[in-house]
Amino acid sequence: MATHPLLAQLNEKQQQAVAASERNMLVLAGAGSGKTRVLVHRIAWLLQQQQVSPYSILAVTFTNKAAAEMRGRVEELLGSSVRSMWIGTFHGLAHRLLRAHYMDVGLPQNFQILDSDDQQRLIKRIIRSLNLDEKRWPPKQAQWFINAKKDEGLRAHHLDGYDITERTLKEVYQAYQDSCDRAGLVDFAELLLRAQELMRTNKTVREHYQRRFRHILVDEFQDTNAIQYAWIQLFSGVGDPSVEPNYVTIVGDDDQSIYGWRGAKVENIQQFLDDYDNVLTIRLEQNYRSTGTILEAANTVIANNSDRLGKDLWTDGNAGEPIHLYAAFNEMDEARYITGRIEEWHQQGNALSDSAILYRSNAQSRVLEEALLHARIPYRIYGGLRFFDRQEVKDALGYLRLMANRQDDAALERVINTPTRGIGNRTIDIIRQAARERSTTMWDSARYLVGEKTLSGRARNAVNDFLNLIDELEDITADFSLGRQTDTAIKKSGLLAMYESEKGEKAETRVENLKELVNACDHFRELESDEDLTPLNAFLAHAALESGDEQADEHQDAVQLMTLHSAKGLEFPLVFMTGVEEGMFPSQQSMDEAGRLEEERRLCYVGMTRAMQKLVITYAEQRRIYGQELFHKVSRFIGEIPPDCLHHVRMQTQVERRTDQDFGRFHTGASHEAFEQTGYQLGQRVRHSKFGEGTVLNYEGTGPQSRIQINFDDLGSKWLVVAYARLESC
């Protein structure tokens, strides 16, 4: 019997999963075994073979990029468009639900999304206005607390407040929520919680969606949290005797659960098996992504974890080359080694975009970025430092947000005095205070104060001008295209002129980014799902929800930089895993807790299994973090890789450390020579008459002032003035 074309390029297990008629299914399998591929083919199968309407499908993935890719792949398989299919991230879908039912959930029609940065600012203001000591109650911690509670489905009034800490945080939570509600702002966690409350409490809405979405498919299920799990339950109708339950397919890998720290519960997989009837479980065991060596190494590392659901992963591909391991002296050396390898890769005719540099924390990217800039290698940061997160872009968005919604306090605070227009902190404090006392938003209280005598004449005029500016911006741009609207806002507000008058490369980039924003608006294509929004509101939602997917240079061939977390689900022919040191990866905080250490190991597994052909692991013996020089041991994870999977790259010896003034800049030839003048090389073994033997680690300054850093075997690291140190080589 001829195989159906949709099943042709799948192995037997995959075919079974794609064509299964069971109501509930779990595909549990390791990295690169084709889980996502199965999901895509299953959607196509349902549409084509089972005549399911795209309208009846709800598919959830982890990133916007993954969602767009999934839609594209389904369309490719079918040869037709499937626009009415709901496919997106939990947050994106929640946003869509809230928009459709804004009245039912008590939100204004033009409610805005509060990103995490603005959320923190708002919480900080709340803490101040409650007269709490910021040192004792750090805004970041309160933010974490509030989000964690929301992720568990808890409102402030659900908390007991049994001790002073919880009582205070509860109070902050409540005041923060009141302030969001007044301003029509919704944070990320709130999107999920409110959508879940809507589904739970509104029978009509619930039944509508339960009838509509006959098929629910979820990728990366291991990283769902409590509220997301509850969501799936509500949509599927499981446990609700009044409805016929829907079809639910979940795919995941317990070994890739890496968001426990953010409330994700890998136990949800077990919970699913308990809550849903007759679940068909399919395990995929063949890996199609990586070489035999990479797979063996990753499998051996993850085998050190306990409590695994357990799975065997094999490949019939070739062994490939060993994993390259590079021990760098410091982070500069590490970055330079990586750029060298990428240049080589590129010269061999490979695309830059086929290589990725992964790191544990966002802060690590700066040095890597600088090395890439220096080597003139285009790169793209994926997630983290997003285009829409850049200061100037957020300023511009602040104006747009206010034009769309005057009640948006976060936006108002951001732009009321940017560029400076004579509205000082004192005036802003007065407005804030009045808003609090009168239980209104800052916009309304500013309007009120303009008619009062509380403010000085000058401040009053300045505030009045600002309010008029925003009103005027909205008026005159009402019929403009989105691009022209934005262009007018950045010009008339004085924002563009402010950045144009600043000097230096950074300011130039900022001006470019502002222009790029106008570009982005011009090219912004609303999704069909956004038809109920004005173009401006659709764009603002897009800006808040996107995570780097729409960066300016999207089409340019560029190296991909991202955190290990955001690499989940992706694959690249060449992967660099950097900063693989104790204290970095596993991170310092995770080393004291067994559970968290295992999560770090899963993250390591995720990182390694992103590589298709080549994996390069690097670590630095010395690293400067937040202004401190730290010495790290090589990560235990490297020790867990079978030695015959590894190839140790010989140390390179020509690296210079910057002086403090130009920290982070890569030296050009001149200072390089200066370093060589000292007669020592990094990595060289030397002897000091008093301190004994050690290794040259670092160097700074030139001429008689030059200093050298030695890591002495017995005493640890010391800085010495070269001219007096009288070192002997050994």
Binding site for ATP, by residue number, is 29-36
Residue 296 binding result from ligand ATP, Mg ion, none, given CB thresholds of 5 to 8 Å by partner type: none
User: Minimum CB separation from Mg ion for residue 343, in Å?
Assistant: 31
Backbone angles phi, psi at 668, to 5 degrees: -95, -175
Q: How many CA atoms lie within 13 A of 660 on its CB side?
A: 5
User: Minimum CB separation from ligand ATP for residue 15, in Å?
Assistant: 9
Our answer to whether residue 621 is catalytic in this structure is no
Span near ligand ATP by CB under 6 A; candidates 9-17, 109-117, 415-423, 596-604:
9-17
For residue 155, give the 3-state DSSP assignment.
coil
Residue 324, burial from CB neighbour count under 10 angstroms (0-12, 13-18, 19+): middle
Does residue 33 belong to the site contacting ligand ATP (CB under 6 A)?
A: yes
Among positions 115, 151, 253, 516, the unique one binding ligand ATP when judged by CB under 6 A:
253
User: Minimum CB separation from Mg ion for residue 70, in Å?
Assistant: 10
Does residue 34 belong to the site contacting ligand ATP (CB under 6 A)?
A: yes
Q: Residues annotated as binding site?
A: 29-36
Q: For residues 505 and 502, give the distance between their C-alpha atoms in angstroms, rounded to a whole number.
A: 9
Do residues 242 and 203 lie in contact, with contact meaning Cβ atoms separated by under 8 Å? no
**Of the residues 42, 610, 636, 657, which is catalytic?**
610
Q: For residues 76 and 58, give the distance between their C-alpha atoms in angstroms, rounded to a whole number.
A: 19
List residues binding Mg ion (CB under 5 A).
Answer: 35-36, 569
User: Minimum CB separation from ligand ATP for residue 29, in Å?
Assistant: 6
User: Minimum CB separation from ligand ATP for residue 609, in Å?
Assistant: 6
CA 429 centroid distance within chain:
33
Among positions 24, 36, 143, 635, the unique one binding ligand ATP when judged by CB under 6 A:
36
Residue 44 binding result from Mg ion, ligand ATP, none, given CB thresholds of 5 to 8 Å by partner type: none
Our answer to whether residue 49 is catalytic in this structure is no
Nearer to ligand ATP, 288 or 480 (CB): 288
For residue 627, give the 3-state DSSP assignment.
coil
Does residue 9 belong to the site contacting ligand ATP (CB under 6 A)?
A: yes
Nearer to Mg ion, 563 or 678 (CB): 563
Q: Among 357, 343, 321, 349, which Cα is nearest to 613's?
A: 321
Do residues 192 and 227 lie in contact, with contact meaning Cβ atoms separated by under 8 Å? yes
Backbone angles phi, psi at 126, to 5 degrees: -65, -45
Site string for ligand ATP, 74-113 (x = CB under 6 A): ----------------------------------------
Locus of tokens 């002129």: 497
Dihedral angle sign, alpha carbons of residues 325, 327, 330, 332: negative
Among positions 289, 336, 510, 623, the unique one binding ligand ATP when judged by CB under 6 A:
289
Nearer to Mg ion, 36 or 477 (CB): 36
**Of the residues 13, 23, 35, 510, which is catalytic?**
35
Q: Between residue 571 and residue 590, which ones bind ligand ATP under the rule CB under 6 A? A: 571
Our answer to whether residue 610 is catalytic in this structure is yes
User: Minimum CB separation from Mg ion for residue 249, in Å?
Assistant: 13
Nearer to ligand ATP, 118 or 219 (CB): 219
What element of type H or E holds 622?
strand 622-625
Residue 9 binding result from Mg ion, ligand ATP, none, given CB thresholds of 5 to 8 Å by partner type: ligand ATP
Q: Where are the alpha helices (DSSP H) in 438-580?
A: 442-450, 457-477, 482-492, 495-501, 504-523, 535-545
Span near ligand ATP by CB under 6 A; candidates 35-43, 136-144, 146-154, 617-625:
35-43
Does residue 569 belong to the site contacting ligand ATP (CB under 6 A)?
A: yes
Q: By beta-carbon distance, which residue lies closest to ligand ATP?
A: 34
**Of the residues 36, 364, 609, 709, which is catalytic?**
36
Residue 453, burial from CB neighbour count under 10 angstroms (0-12, 13-18, 19+): exposed
Q: Among 252, 259, 210, 260, which Cα is nearest to 231's?
A: 210
Does residue 32 belong to the site contacting ligand ATP (CB under 6 A)?
A: yes
Residue 14 binding result from ligand ATP, Mg ion, none, given CB thresholds of 5 to 8 Å by partner type: ligand ATP
β-pair type (185-187, 112-114) = parallel
Q: Among 194, 225, 191, 226, which Cα is nearest to 119's?
A: 191
Within 10 angstroms of residue 259's Cβ, the number of other Cβ atoms is: 20
The C-alpha angle 453, 454, 457, rounded to 5 degrees, equals 65
User: Minimum CB separation from Mg ion for residue 346, in Å?
Assistant: 27
Q: For residues 119 and 136, give the distance between their C-alpha atoms in angstroms, rounded to a whole number.
A: 19
Span near ligand ATP by CB under 6 A; candidates 28-36, 428-436, 676-684, 706-714:
28-36
Span near ligand ATP by CB under 6 A; candidates 3-11, 130-138, 293-301, 680-688:
3-11
Backbone angles phi, psi at 185, to 5 degrees: -115, 145
Our answer to whether residue 255 is catalytic in this structure is no
Do residues 85 and 59 lie in contact, with contact meaning Cβ atoms separated by under 8 Å? yes
DSSP 441: -
Backbone angles phi, psi at 88, to 5 degrees: 175, -170
User: 419 preceded by cis ω (within 30°)?
Assistant: yes
Q: For residues 146 and 150, give the distance between their C-alpha atoms in angstroms, rounded to a whole number.
A: 6
Our answer to whether residue 219 is catalytic in this structure is yes
Does residue 16 belong to the site contacting ligand ATP (CB under 6 A)?
A: no
Among positions 35, 150, 214, 632, the unique one binding ligand ATP when judged by CB under 6 A:
35
**Of the residues 171, 219, 253, 700, which is catalytic?**
219
Do residues 104 and 198 lie in contact, with contact meaning Cβ atoms separated by under 8 Å? yes
Nearer to Mg ion, 249 or 441 (CB): 249
Give the active site residues.
35-36, 219-220, 256, 610
> Which spans of this chain sit near ligand ATP (rule: CB under 6 A)?
9-11, 14, 29, 31-37, 253, 256, 288-289, 569, 571, 609
